[in-house]
Chains A and B, each alone.
Chain A
């Protein structure tokens, strides 16, 4: 850098201008003269970037080309990185630049490295991990879940021995949260499903002239199946996710550990009241949903088939044996216990980061809804001969 470099007048007043490179002949050499603001702000409009990349493309690195960076008004790390990458990550043979820009380019030159290669997993590897991990995870989940149920049984035993020391306040709070506040939404959904079902079946029944059978169809399907399942799905989405998020946040913020240190077992203090609250709230919610659906169906039957509400109400006990109500209630209690346990399980499994919390909540809702359907199918098979009038 000893000989006088070319400095042209019009390159100097490029202050604040767009970044650009010009080609000049001087001293029998080709000089690439960069000017303007080589900063990310200077380059980040589409037109400026387009112009600059075209500009650089026509000036590939050549042995005999010298670079003059002195007219550059501003150079930041992104601009320097662009130049350095353009030079093929090596210094050009001849280079003139201001000292303050040299420092920036030096840093970029010093720290530019190749990123460590990320070996992409092969398809076989992925399949192995998926199958192996899935199997092992499944085993772990089953094991942990069994442990949770066992712990619940122990905690219930402890509660029976010393009921005055149970977490009753938490229990009643959860009962209100899971039960009372869910009444409006379950009523609305139940009512609408009842209306839809009544209109749908009334079309078919009219074909056969069997209009009065709408009481049988609505009564059995709503009380025995749809009421409990619908209520359980809504509660799984509403309260299952809330349980997971609540316990998950407590885990992220180490509240669970704090509780354990104080000698208060989280199973007894957190899991058990939630399970008990849902075991009681869920049958009530399911009955409430069934009632709302029956009211909806009754109104729709009156409108579309002229089945009067008084006939509907008087026929209902005759065509739907009372045992169906008991099946629905016991089924709902099982749903409630499962939803609460699954919610608690995924909450306890949350790792201390936000991503895990989101994943846990999603997994909890999906798992509890799936579980509700599976258990409902089991009940249907088990009680296939019970509660129907022959």
Chain B
């Protein structure tokens, strides 16, 4: 812990890190002094150098960065799919590689293309982590899977379909239901709205916001879609120069003088999305009313 303390009084303008951490805020993911190194034929390539990041319970944190800055690698390290070269990752106080069969109760992951098991029906896909416990009765599992299927806005008539018969938006919803079947407190999303049409992306964002509120989730997502970014995030972490250059609310991030942030948010596409922000729209996730309301349904 001494190295964490020594890292704090650095002179860099880290707007968000720890700023909004109230004394009772619980750290769900803690990344300390993380190094990621890829070996290649022409020498080693350092992707992350002394990267620090902590994610508090209940927030929606977006990871942003140019391609090759290791956003997806960071997600995989949080999941324990990859080991960092140096440094530590702790999820809910444990190294992520220590999670076993009940891993689905700790972390849920929505992969970019859903990663549904193509040999199973929709319902079997959602029920898979529970069935693998080989303990709970099948009736209970089926009921629980049907509840989750409807919570992501799909009707029970889709339960017996196979993943090949689903549209892109439906695949993402089923994958989300599968990720949430054991009610994990932490949900990771890799490009949640990539490949969806604007309407589908909007309704998926509504669904994520609703689930975040209803289930009290902590969400970490990687996204390139600026609409999604400003729509959902409570905090944004920007990866550049092999570390997190700034982590804070959208306004804090945009105020940061780094050239990447200027390029990303204030030129072209970014500017258009920013105009919406300057019209005074705050991220609705922060102002949402707890409880009530059905999940945003999915009509297609």
Chain A residues in the interface with B (C-beta under 8 A)? 39-41, 43-44, 46, 49, 76-78, 81-82, 84-85, 103, 107-108, 110-116, 118, 351, 353-355
B259 within 8 A of A: no
Q: Are the C-beta atoms of A107 and B118 separated by less than 8 Å? A: no
Q: Are the C-beta atoms of B140 and A85 separated by less than 8 Å? A: yes
Residue of A nearest to B148 (CB): A77
B222 within 8 A of A: no
Question: Which one of A46, A112, A114, A116 lies within 8 Å of B147 (CB-CB)?
Answer: A112
Considering the chains assembled together, what is the distance between the CA atoms of A115 and B148 in angstroms? Answer: 13
Question: Which one of B105, B119, B143 lies within 8 Å of A112 (CB-CB)?
Answer: B143
B-chain residues with CB within 8 Å of residue A114 when the two chains form the complex: 156
Query: What are 27 A-B contacts defined by CB distance under 8 Å?
Result: A40-B105, A40-B130, A41-B102, A41-B182, A43-B135, A49-B135, A49-B136, A76-B183, A78-B130, A78-B140, A78-B144, A78-B182, A81-B144, A81-B147, A103-B214, A103-B291, A110-B294, A113-B146, A115-B123, A115-B156, A115-B159, A116-B156, A116-B159, A351-B164, A353-B163, A354-B118, A355-B118
Min C-beta distance of B158 to chain A, whole Å: 9
Q: Are the C-beta atoms of A118 and B160 separated by less than 8 Å? A: yes
A-chain residues with CB within 8 Å of residue B151 when the two chains form the complex: 107, 111
B139 within 8 A of A: yes
Q: Are the C-beta atoms of B159 and A111 separated by less than 8 Å? A: no
Min C-beta distance of A253 to chain B, whole Å: 12
B-chain residues with CB within 8 Å of residue A118 when the two chains form the complex: 160
Considering the chains assembled together, what is the distance between the CA atoms of A118 and B151 in angstroms? Answer: 22
B133 within 8 A of A: yes
Residue of B nearest to A99 (CB): B291
| Closest A-B pairs by Cβ, 6 of them | A76-B183, A111-B150, A111-B147, A81-B144, A355-B118, A353-B164
A-chain residues with CB within 8 Å of residue B118 when the two chains form the complex: 353-355
Q: Are the C-beta atoms of B146 and A115 separated by less than 8 Å? A: yes
B142 within 8 A of A: yes
B259-284 vs A: 1/0 string, CB under 8 Å? 00000000000000000000000000
B-chain residues with CB within 8 Å of residue A113 when the two chains form the complex: 146, 150, 156
B-chain residues with CB within 8 Å of residue A354 when the two chains form the complex: 118
B157 within 8 A of A: yes
Considering the chains assembled together, what is the distance between the CA atoms of A107 and B211 in angstroms? Answer: 11
Residue of A nearest to B129 (CB): A40
A40-B182, A76-B183, A116-B160 in contact; A81/B135 too (CB < 8 A)? no
Min C-beta distance of A233 to chain B, whole Å: 29
Q: Are the C-beta atoms of B140 and A108 separated by less than 8 Å? A: no
A-chain residues with CB within 8 Å of residue B146 when the two chains form the complex: 111-113, 115
Q: Are the C-beta atoms of A77 and B144 separated by less than 8 Å? A: yes
Q: Which of A78, A107, A353 has the most CB of B within 10 A?
A: A78
Min C-beta distance of B17 to chain A, whole Å: 30
A118-B160, A355-B119 in contact; A107/B214 too (CB < 8 A)? yes
B192-211 residues with Cβ-Cβ distance < 8 A to A are none
Considering the chains assembled together, what is the distance between the CA atoms of A108 and B148 in angstroms? Answer: 9
5 additional contacts (CB under 8 A) given A76-B182, A84-B143: A78-B140, A78-B183, A115-B142, A353-B163, A355-B118
Q: Which of B102, B142, B147, B164 has the most CB of A within 10 A?
A: B147
A103-B214, A115-B156 in contact; A39/B135 too (CB < 8 A)? no
B-chain residues with CB within 8 Å of residue A107 when the two chains form the complex: 147, 151, 214
Considering the chains assembled together, what is the distance between the CA atoms of A40 and B291 in angstroms? Answer: 22
Min C-beta distance of A248 to chain B, whole Å: 14
B-chain residues with CB within 8 Å of residue A39 when the two chains form the complex: 105, 183
Considering the chains assembled together, what is the distance between the CA atoms of A112 and B157 in angstroms? Answer: 13
Min C-beta distance of A113 to chain B, whole Å: 5
B180-196 vs A: 1/0 string, CB under 8 Å? 00110000000000000
Question: Which one of B119, B133, B183 lies within 8 Å of A77 (CB-CB)?
Answer: B183
Q: Are the C-beta atoms of B160 and A40 separated by less than 8 Å? A: no
Considering the chains assembled together, what is the distance between the CA atoms of A354 and B214 in angstroms? Answer: 35
Min C-beta distance of B185 to chain A, whole Å: 10
Considering the chains assembled together, what is the distance between the CA atoms of A41 and B105 in angstroms? Answer: 7
Considering the chains assembled together, what is the distance between the CA atoms of A78 and B144 in angstroms? Answer: 6
Q: Which of B119, B143, B156 has the most CB of A within 10 A?
A: B143
Residue of B nearest to A354 (CB): B118
Q: Which of A115, A353, A354 has the most CB of B within 10 A?
A: A115
Q: Are the C-beta atoms of A78 and B156 separated by less than 8 Å? A: no
B49-91 residues with Cβ-Cβ distance < 8 A to A are none
Min C-beta distance of B89 to chain A, whole Å: 21
Considering the chains assembled together, what is the distance between the CA atoms of A355 and B121 in angstroms? Answer: 13
Residue of A nearest to B158 (CB): A116
Residue of B nearest to A89 (CB): B143
B147-177 vs A: 1/0 string, CB under 8 Å? 1101100001101100110000000000000
A-chain residues with CB within 8 Å of residue B136 when the two chains form the complex: 43-44, 49, 78
